[in-house]
Structure 1
Amino acid sequence: MSGTAPPSDLMLRIKAIETLLEEKNLIDTSAVDAMIELYENKLGPRNGAQVVAKAWTDEAYKARLLEDGSKAIAELGFTGVQGEEMVVLENTSEVHNVIVCTLCSCYPWPVLGLPPTWYKTAAYRSRVVLEPRAVLKEFDLEIPAEKEVRVWDSNAEIRFMVLPEQPEESKGLSEQELVEWVTRNSMIGTGLAEKPSK
């Protein structure tokens, strides 16, 4: 998704500093991009994937997770800024949950890492509330008409994380194997858990 709003003053300042550091050969932008990619798509989401895999294999843990997300997530050692008050929403055959932050870009960093660029855009933040099915379709996710779609708005006090439905073909796998089935987008609600590609 792409936003149509001009960059914020903060983003312009960051870009100016980055450009200056690059011109003075003090940073390698490809290394910075690689580090962002690592935190955005690997390390952070891997924490959340471990939470999901544990919930899929341990009914008692799943019950604790849905009752008090913060406490259950902390059991696995994932705590910190932007994750103090966590609410976990379960996707089922009747309900599909998706998260957003309409005011800024509040996001559960301890379990999902850095927010993806599209999550912070004005287009996503406004449209997913008004037309969630259309936005999800843009992520190649078509929710059946009979399934309810619920949009949850994060804020300064509460962060949300989606517990995706476990794919049938993954049932019976070990917790370690299941981690590979959990995608970042499935924990936001803009995707599904899926068989890992080779």
Structure 2
Amino acid sequence: MSRGGQKIGRRKFLKGAAVGAAAVSSTAISNAQDAESADHQHVPSDIALRVKALETVLTEKNLLDPSALDEVVDQYENRIGPQNGAKVVAKAWVDSDYKARLLDDGTAAIGELDLLGRQGEHMVVVENTTEVHNLVVCTLCSCYPWPTLGLPPTWYKSSAYRARAVIEPRAVLLEFGLEVSDETEIRVWDSTAEMRYLVLPRRPEGTEDMNEEELADIVTRDSMIGVAVL
């Protein structure tokens, strides 16, 4: 990237973007979080109404099979989502051999559970420890591991998060309610179209007697992105 004939590094560009967004970034991330958690019991938006109208027209003209559409909706509502990533995490917690394979080759290990797919073909898993906390971002757009985490949350796609997570990760995490000590190193991983990341959270204390299924129930999406801990 260049400006006036002078080359600008990616990190320098991101830093400039972060400075420009700083005045409104906290509000932007907060608003994105609020929008995601808002109650959806309201009048459909214009876009939703247009989509429904288009669906009706295409169905009437036999250009769209409603059952095929229902299959896609069911896929993302019930079969693709953070519950899949939680299964990966829980298995790693109870099976040390699987954990070693997961950290060595995330793609192959996740494939063992048949959880690979579009937007998640190539995976790297990074482990949180007492010394290191990992945070995932996509600085260019919103690359995200759909098969293991579902669709990306609104705040993950926001320009504020994408710019600031690289430059000031501690401040960003604090806005999510997570305070990371100065003694803990924060590593930020930039997902791309070629490679997506999944955080392996630390197993909470007091869960020694829980089985794999019970452990999967306590794993959250945000902990696998790195903006929360368990």
Q: TM tier, shorter chain? A: 0.7 to 0.9
* Distance 1:168-1:40 versus aligned 2 partners, 3 A rule: farther
CA distance in 2, matches of 1:161, 1:65: 10
Provide the alpha-carbon RMSD of the alignment. Answer: 2.4
The aligned counterpart of 2:152 is 115
The aligned counterpart of 2:208 is 171
Residue identity in the other structure for 1:79: L
Is the Cα contact below 8 Å between 1:95 and 1:149 reproduced in 2? Answer: yes
Of residues 6, 13, 20, the one that matches 2:50 is: 20
Deviations 1:9-32 (A, max 9, x none): xxxxxx764342457995xxxxxx
Is the Cα contact below 8 Å between 2:80 and 2:146 reproduced in 1? Answer: no
CA distance in 2, matches of 1:85, 1:161: 11
The aligned counterpart of 2:133 is 96
Is the Cα contact below 8 Å between 2:201 and 2:224 reproduced in 1? Answer: yes
The aligned counterpart of 2:181 is 144
* 2:75 pairs with 1:45: no
The aligned counterpart of 1:58 is 95
1:173 positional shift: 1.1
Residue identity in the other structure for 1:20: R
Is the Cα contact below 8 Å between 1:41 and 1:113 reproduced in 2? Answer: no
The aligned counterpart of 1:132 is 169
Is the Cα contact below 8 Å between 1:90 and 1:163 reproduced in 2? Answer: yes
What TM-score, normalized to structure 1? Answer: 0.80
CA distance in 2, matches of 1:25, 1:88: 39
Residue identity in the other structure for 2:195: I
Q: Secondary structure at the match of 1:169?
A: coil
The aligned counterpart of 2:106 is 69
Residue identity in the other structure for 1:159: R
Q: Quick check: which has more Rg, 1 or 2?
A: 2
Structure with the largest fraction of helix = 2
Deviations 1:60-100 (A, max 9, x none): 00000000000000101101111111000000000000000
CA distance in 1, matches of 2:79, 2:189: 24
Q: Secondary structure at the match of 1:78?
A: coil
CA distance in 2, matches of 1:183, 1:40: 16
CA distance in 2, matches of 1:81, 1:69: 15
CA distance in 1, matches of 2:196, 2:55: 38
Of residues 223, 226, 229, the one that matches 1:186 is: 223
Q: Secondary structure at the match of 1:98?
A: strand
Alignment: residue pair count: 173
* Distance 1:92-1:42 versus aligned 2 partners, 3 A rule: farther
Q: Secondary structure at the match of 1:161?
A: strand
Q: Percent identity?
A: 59
Deviations 1:37-57 (A, max 9, x none): x94898410000000000000
Is the Cα contact below 8 Å between 2:80 and 2:147 reproduced in 1? Answer: no
Q: Secondary structure at the match of 1:187?
A: helix
